[in-house]
Structure 1
Amino acid sequence: MAITAQMVKELREKTGAGMMDCKVALQETGGDMEAAVDWLRTKGLAKAAKKAGRVAAEGLIGIAEEGRKAAIVELNSETDFVARNEQFQALVSAVAQAALGTGGSLDAVLAADLPGAGKTVEGAITDAVATIGENMTLRRTAAIEVSEGVVAGYVHSAVAPGLGKIGVLVGMQSSGDTAKLAALGRQIAMHVAAANPLSLDVSGLDPEVVARERAVFAEQARGSGKPEAIIEKMVEGRLRKFYEEAVLLKQVFVVDGERSIETVLADAAKEVGSPVSLTGFVSFRLGEGVEKEESDFAAEVAAAVGQR
């Protein structure tokens, strides 16, 4: 029997399994839709689809570094227990390594070959869902590369090398001593993890955020009853303070508590033997922005008892 694209689409919608898996299932069962569903279930692929509706907000951040480039990924699971699973940790490390060979986009990483696995990243995650028994999602990925210098990384709350709850990459552009650059880059990455800046420089801030802050400061200043000319100066002063808190280059370096990151970079030029600039940074915090389901354990137990 000829397997049509419409049949594959229908089976995919029924099970959530990958298109190639659906095609193989239909070929193996002579086009029988229900038998194909069962075939996928026996392979654990339909099982993975059933779990896809569950919230995955735990997991790990993984980073992979290679000289002038580095990649960062967030692979989510449903529970922290799975994040402590060695199989899951190996998967996150491999996905980060695969991301090194891409431009960092999520689609490119999902389609990339997982090192030594003989399958794509997306296929490996699907297989892991079936094997480990929890929903997993590759939520986001990014990469940084510099033409000269280093990309330094830092992982906070590390459970294994390059794996943890917070991951940061910073691009250090310079022709200076790479070992010294890498050491400074790691310190700045640690600073980013602690200070959580919104942007690299003032121009990188979301204009809507700046406008909202300006409006709040203006309203506060008008409460003082001072003339508009004075109010404008007050607003500008408060905006400068906001920039010092929100912009990486303006923030006070957490390592010494005195110099701004801007000054740290200027001072580093003498140490590394060449001007140093930050080309950008990426900071991932596990589960950031994901709405976690609140569970009532007592209600869950009562429901389970009632189903017996």
Structure 2
Amino acid sequence: MAEITAAAVKDLRERSGAGMMDCKKALAETAGDVEAAVDWLRAKGLAAAAKKSSRTAAEGLVAVAVSGTKGVAVEVNSETDFVAKNEQFQDFARTAAKVALESGIADAEELKAAPHPAGATIGDALVTNVATIGENQALRRVAAVAVDQGLVVDYVHNAAAPGLGKIGVLVALESPAGADVLQPLGKQIAMHIAAAFPVALKADDIAPEILDRERKVAAEKAAESGKPAEIVAKMVDGAVAKFAKENALLSQLFVMDNKTPVADVVAKAAKDAGTTIVLKNYVRFQLGEGIEKEESDFAAEVAAAAAGA
């Protein structure tokens, strides 16, 4: 039987909001696997649906940069929040985003190999930062969006400086409308995205593995109802459909009024402007998102980067 540590119980409580004893039992039932324990608690109705992006721990900055019809988001990690306030670190993140935007690079490894304005490469500048600031750092990920006609709008939540913060959002609006229409619309949608954690643009775009996990949780919960198999099957289908609707951006209820689907917000803006507006794509980077399992390897990752890997 796996040892249930106090740290694991604390982590599970923070992720699930469940009580201490329930967390201990969940970990015991899942051999100490925190992710499986979250699902066990949800199946038992003891935890709300977990969003990985709301329970991250890595420090650093997300940098965004836009220019008309294109935009990029870059995440640079550090060990402590103190370093994220360092001017040298902020300048690196800002420069990395600018280089990605100007070069069209949307891959972290390619960006590390790109020339730095001050000489050498972005990767070399990162290694220099590690040496001079005295703390491990890593350029973790890059994403880009673009439209043929229209505007890419950016938004930073918990901004540490212009274009730098804990959450960075890009919204790509395809339209012949002017910036006077698209900028305020894109800003509101970006703020919605920052708050609402969509996992895909449309329900059909949600990754199969995400839906499979929700189906498994829903099936375990429905099975405890004691209802006939055909009713249980409908309950499961309904729960998965509800999850997809609530987690796809276009079908989410707009946070500004909590009643209008985002798709209808865009349609109304298009009607008011007398033209077409299509919400083509978006990016939402939250600091540390998706790296909970990799934190123990953070130093090794930086060491590999320093060695030119």
Specify the code of the residue in structure 2 equivalent to 1:283.
R
SS of 1:252's equivalent in the other structure is coil
Q: How far apart are 1:90 and its partner, in Å?
A: 1.3
Specify the code of the residue in structure 2 equivalent to 1:98.
V
SS of 2:161's equivalent in the other structure is coil
Q: Is the 8 A contact 1:102 1:108 kept in 2?
A: no
What does residue 108 of structure 1 align with?
110
Q: Go from structure 1 to structure 2 and tell me whether the alpha carbon gap of 1:214 and 1:77 turns closer, same or farther (over 3 Å shift).
A: closer
Specify the code of the residue in structure 1 equivalent to 2:260.
R
SS of 2:200's equivalent in the other structure is coil
Structure 1 residue 62 and structure 2 residue 71: aligned? no
Q: How far apart are 1:227 and its partner, in Å?
A: 4.1
Unaligned runs of at least 5 residues, structure 1: 1-55, 294-308
Note the 1:164-183 alignment, pairs <5 A: 164-183=165-184
Q: Is the 8 A contact 1:155 1:166 kept in 2?
A: yes
Instruction: Show structure 1 runs of 4+ deviating over 6 A.
Output: none
> Quick one: distance in 1 between partners of 2:284 and 2:175?
21
Q: How far apart are 1:247 and its partner, in Å?
A: 1.1
SS of 2:143's equivalent in the other structure is strand
Q: Is the 8 A contact 1:177 1:273 kept in 2?
A: no
> Quick one: distance in 1 between partners of 2:60 and 2:82?
9
Structure 1 residue 276 and structure 2 residue 274: aligned? no
> Quick one: distance in 1 between partners of 2:216 and 2:86?
48
> Quick one: distance in 1 between partners of 2:291 and 2:232?
39
Specify the code of the residue in structure 2 equivalent to 1:128.
N
Which structure has the greater CA radius of gyration?
1
Q: Is the 8 A contact 1:244 1:252 kept in 2?
A: no
What does residue 148 of structure 2 align with?
147
Identity %: 50
Q: Is the 8 A contact 1:71 1:104 kept in 2?
A: yes
What does residue 133 of structure 1 align with?
134
Q: How far apart are 1:252 and its partner, in Å?
A: 0.6
Q: Is the 8 A contact 2:73 2:144 kept in 1?
A: yes
Using the size of structure 2 for normalisation, the TM-score is 0.71
Q: Go from structure 1 to structure 2 and tell me whether the alpha carbon gap of 1:128 and 1:220 turns closer, same or farther (over 3 Å shift).
A: closer
> Quick one: distance in 1 between partners of 2:132 and 2:214?
49
Q: What do you get for the CA RMSD once the two structures are aligned?
A: 1.9
SS of 1:60's equivalent in the other structure is strand
Deviation per CA, 1:43-80, whole angstroms, max 9, x where unpaired? xxxxxxxxxxxxx9321110111000011101112221
Specify the code of the residue in structure 1 equivalent to 2:285.
F
> Quick one: distance in 1 between partners of 2:125 and 2:139?
11
What does residue 162 of structure 2 align with?
161
What does residue 9 of structure 2 align with?
none
Q: Is the 8 A contact 1:177 1:272 kept in 2?
A: no
Unaligned runs of at least 5 residues, structure 2: 1-56, 297-309
Q: How many residues are paired up?
A: 237
Q: How far apart are 1:179 and its partner, in Å?
A: 2.4
> Quick one: distance in 1 between partners of 2:183 and 2:238?
35
> Quick one: distance in 2 between partners of 1:81 and 1:274?
47
Q: Is the 8 A contact 1:57 1:76 kept in 2?
A: yes
> Quick one: distance in 2 between partners of 1:290 and 1:213?
21
What does residue 93 of structure 1 align with?
94
For CA contacts below 8 A with separation 6 or more, give which structure has more relative contact order: 2
Q: Go from structure 1 to structure 2 and tell me whether the alpha carbon gap of 1:130 and 1:252 turns closer, same or farther (over 3 Å shift).
A: same
What does residue 40 of structure 1 align with?
none
Specify the code of the residue in structure 2 equivalent to 1:250.
S
